[in-house]
Amino acid sequence: MITNGKEIALIWYEKLKEEIKLLDKKPWLAVILVGDNPASIRYVSQKAKWAKEVWIQFKLIKRERGIQEEELKEDIKKLNNDETIHGIIIQLPLPSHIDTNTIINTIYPVKDIDGFTAINMGKIALWDESGLAPCTPSGVIHICKVNSIDLEWKNVTIIGRSNIVGKPLVSMCINEWATVTCCNSKTKDLKSHTQNADIVVLATGKPWILTKDMIKKEAFVIDVGFTVIDEKIYWDACFQEISENGNPITPVPWWVGRLTVLFIMKNTLKAFYMQNK
């Protein structure tokens, strides 16, 4: 079975909406957007749209590309100390003169709804579910669950080593008892790592890094990555030939992206409850 991520997300949004509608006080999500990267603007507008849909209040703070690290830290500290704000997102990527780890780790872990701070990443590695888990990897695990794929006894090959997807996903799959291999765009003989995989997750941003000859006939492929070249979008997997080969594969636009935004809203509500015990 491969269902549609958009439909799964819509069912969850209805549940969230019903729950949040009944709260006297509403959760607040603040997003800091630095510069005018078109992809970042698009992602932020999706977050704003779905927050509004489920009664989460949304605050956008826009900053110039040239902002200094100290100024950005001040913005975050203000949001940390503002009791009306429950979740903080720093839209990535940040300009190269700013140290991303320093900025992310300025966010209070209890408000870090992206799950990117060292504390929340550490909790994932320790299988401690009291923190906030990164949203795209949560989406990938959810895709397996709704497709009734139990990760126990399965070989999972993840292609991608980013802090946002690859690394936390390794821990989350290990927590589900999967046997995990983590590759990247510089892995030698990639096929030797994909041909025995029951599940392949792609998150490199390297076009067509996975082709049908590299995987088992029944392997389940979850594609998270894409690249834009000359205004054309290329996915990490050769979607057409892999789906024509009969492999179950999730297309990027209708699947993981939808679930990433959904888990941002779920994390915002979790953060709200953590701060209103």
Q: Active-site residues: which are they?
A: 47, 91, 114
Using the structure block, give the residue that is written with the tokens 């906030």.
132
Using the structure block, give the residue that is written with the tokens 């594969």.
249
Residues 21-80 that bind ligand GUN (CB under 6 A): 43
DSSP state of 63: E
- What would the DSSP string read from start to end of 173-195? HHHTT-EEEEE-TT-TTTHHHHT
Residues 159-178 that bind ligand GUN (CB under 6 A): 164
Are the CB atoms for 198 and 219 separated by under 8 Å?
yes
Question: Segment contacting ligand GUN (CB under 6 A): 19-27, 63-71, 85-93, 210-218?
Answer: 85-93
Q: Which uninterrupted H or E stretch holds 87?
A: strand 87-90
Residue of the chain from 47, 58, 91, 160 that contacts ligand GUN (CB under 6 A): 91
Question: Segment contacting ligand GUN (CB under 6 A): 68-76, 87-95, 231-239, 249-257?
Answer: 87-95
Residue of the chain from 9, 72, 76, 89 that contacts ligand GUN (CB under 6 A): 89
Tell how many helices (H) and how many strands (E) occur in the chain: 10, 10
Question: Is residue 187 at the binding interface for ligand GUN, with CB under 6 A as the rule?
Answer: no
Residues 102-121, mask of contacts with ligand GUN (x by CB under 6 A) = ------------x-------
Q: Which uninterrupted H or E stretch holds 234?
A: strand 232-235
| Bridge partner list, 228 | 233
Least gap, CB of 90 to ligand GUN (angstroms)? 6
Least gap, CB of 250 to ligand GUN (angstroms)? 17
Q: Which residues bind ligand GUN (CB under 6 A)?
A: 43, 89-92, 114, 135-136, 164, 260
